[in-house]
Amino acid sequence: MPRYRKAEQNTIDPYKAQPLPLGRPVAVYYRQSSEGQIGNISTTLQTVDMVEHLMRQGWEREQIIMIDRDAGISGTKKIKERPGMSYLYDLIEDRAIGLVASQDVDRFFRDMAQIETNIFIDACRRSNVQVLTPTFVYDFAHPTQGRYHMQMFRDQAQRAADYLEFHIKGKLWKSREYMNHQGQWTGTPIALGFIVDNRVKLPTGEKNPNWRKYVRFDRYADVVVVYFELFKRHNGNMQKTWEHIEQHGPFIPEFSEDSVPEGFFFHTNISKRSRYTGKLLLSRYALGHMLSNVVYIGHWAHRGVIVERHNHEAIVPLDLFMYAYNKLSPVDFNGEPNLEYTPQRPWTRHDKANRPVPPPTYTGVIFSPDVLDMPLRRMLCHWELGRQVYAYALYNVDMKKQWEITSSLVDDVVDRILLERLRATTIDEAVWEKAVADAKGSSHVDVRRIEHAIRTAETAQRSVVENLKSLAYPGLVKQLEEQYIASEQEIAQLRAELKHLQSDPGHQRLLVEALPVLETVIARWSEVSGEHRRELFDAFAERVLVSKIDRVTRRITVCWRDGTQTTEWIKNRQQVFAWSPDELERLCQMVESHASQVELLCAFPGVSWRGIRERYTYHFGRGKWRGVYRGKVRYGGNSRWEDTEEYQLAATTAQPSVSAVGSYP
């Protein structure tokens, strides 16, 4: 029996332009091609004026989303290669906005092949998102005018790409190349220590032979010379040179327009500041680049080739510059091997397979709360060549190592805790089913990510097909065909990855299959590989927290997925300890303030009184202890904090159980 329904009434007038979607948020897309253009008139038009224009149209300021992540990024790049455009594309796909505004179509794309342009148009059409410029509103989803708007948008983007290809690259870039080969400045960042002579004619009326060439700028040149001298003073050690500059200077003077002579030009984008003084300085990378830049001995280089020798005045003595250059550059001025190259001892990477111990099992899930203002700081894993062990090391925000612990000690404790958890799970089916469910949920995010990537690649393929219908140029047709083949291969790879993920090859399968033989797994735990132990850990636990309690005790806590925690303490029995800089400083302060012997032993548990004395005399006392320390002494030289009556008295209070294990720093 046929079923009928009421005819749908189309509320869209096919002969009129649709109203602006004032009820939905709007995004403003801002882009500049180079960093030098940031802050010019175009920036104001794209940001301030565009926002005011949208507010006059009826939007509230809270509804306007400013996307300004693409400052200094070319419009020829793909959508996924531009963070701002990628964010805008996601907003369109998620239907989070109703309109996107920009100063012109060329702010969106300068795509010669029109592939990315069509992907953007298709997304706006499917999500019913309009595109607004000061001269036109594009509505790709309009029932009758949508195709016309698409073609207009493509034409505008094509004209922008043609302008870039034929005018900018074809004419302006050739002029810039010619000037560069003449040793003239063409707008690139000015090397620190120079200014540009922008006078076409001299005061006498003669033609200026140094027009658009570098001239010494004393305000900064003197600082540059000192940097070269410091590098030599530190025997070519870049890290020590930079650390000295950051702490003691000389620092880069703040830029002032009044300091530049009339007729000359200077600009700088240096913004890094010292963590100690807050003054300007170069980054470590920029310092290394400066110390090997031939511009400081008067040469002019373009695209890695010296095109003009003795082009301008040198500001660094030749012998001083060559010392730094031979330390840093493996090639000479002609690109040949530098026979004078004297680098520091290279780091030799040994084959991991030849190491006597297996890699740590729980790398990546070890955290520590011991860093100030960082409740969860991931501990890094590295190989210690001297001790021939792996170690988990904790670094602060400045990448200074605070302390470390041998990886095998932590892994053994976590293995033991995990094994006890598995034994408890065999008698609790609810806990096991929850672990399997958590394993399924952990892969759900990856499935959504891959499915989204497949849809994006398929959209790109459809755009290629649409472009092939309208193109007749063999070169572009071949390029589009290659793009289609690449998308096809990408889709096949993503589908294979999705199938592999959906088939559950990881720890979820291991959990399901391990249940019937769990007793065997527990009984033969020593034979279970580290990879499978890690999979079981990921199914039951989220992370491991390691805390330094004192010089001999560490607390290890396993955080389970059900919200519970299991904690154990491990303690070092050895007498040899690694002293951190903070501990040495505290030792010096306590000794020189004549703290009592008991206070010193309590501050450094596990260290004998003789060890404390020897450590101080080695670092601070110049071999002398008598006459320096006048504190109260009660115990002998072999006494430790644990041997004192004060410790025994404090131990009467309840203390957590502590496992005594092997050594760790």
pLDDT in tens, 244-291: 999 999 999 988 878 888 889 888 888 889 988 989 999 988 999 999
pLDDT band at residue 664 under the 50/70/90 scheme: very low
Closest CA to 391 of 369, 363, 371, 367: 363
H-run or E-run covering 215? strand 214-216
Distance CA(162)–CA(174), nearest Å, equals: 16
Listed in order, the ranges of the chain carrying CATH 3.90.1750.20 are: 194-328
**DSSP calls for 641-653:** GGGSHHHHHHTTS
Q: Write down the mean pLDDT value for the chain.
A: 80
3 state SS of 515 = coil
Q: Is a pLDDT exceeding 70 seen at residue 181? A: yes
Cβ 312 vs Cβ 323: under 8 Å: no
Residues β-bridged to residue 555: 547, 569
CA distance 338 to 354: 34
Of 563, 564, 549, residue with least CA distance to 655: 549
Mean pLDDT of 168-175: 58
Confidence bin at 462 (pLDDT 50/70/90) = confident
| pLDDT tens profile 522-534 | 778 888 888 888 8
pLDDT of 307-345, one tens digit each?
Answer: 889 999 999 999 999 999 999 999 998 888 888 887 766
CATH class held by domain 194-328: alpha beta
Cβ pair 508, 514 in contact under 8 A: no
Instruction: Give the pLDDT score at 642.
Output: 81
Model pTM? Answer: 0.42
Q: What is the pLDDT of residue 108?
A: 85
Answer whether 214's CB lies under 8 Å from 194's CB.
Answer: yes
Computed on alpha carbons and rounded to an integer, the radius of gyration of the chain in Å comes to 34
Q: Backbone phi, then psi, for 231, in 5-degree steps?
A: -60, -40
Tell me, what amino acid is at 79?
I
pLDDT above 70: residue 18: yes
Class of the CATH domain delimited by 26-167: alpha beta
Look at 48-52, 122-126, 384-388, 492-496 and tell me which has the smallest mean pLDDT: 492-496
Q: How far apart are CA 147 and CA 156, in angstroms?
A: 14
Q: Pick from 336, 302, 342: which is nearest to 322 by CA?
A: 342
**What's the confidence (pLDDT) of residue 162?**
74
Amino acid (one-letter) located at 453:
A
pLDDT on residue 448: 65
Residue 305 confidence (pLDDT) above 60: yes
As a whole number, mean pLDDT of residues 422-426 equals 73
Question: Which whole number is the average pLDDT over 174-198?
Answer: 82
The span from the CA of 253 to the CA of 263, in Å, is: 21
Every domain range in the chain assigned CATH 3.40.50.1390: 26-167
Q: What digits encode the pLDDT tens for the residues 549-588? A: 877 788 999 999 888 899 998 876 554 456 777 788 888 8
Burial 567-600 (b: 16+ CB within 10 A, else e): ebbbbbeeeebebbeebeeebeebbeeebebbeb
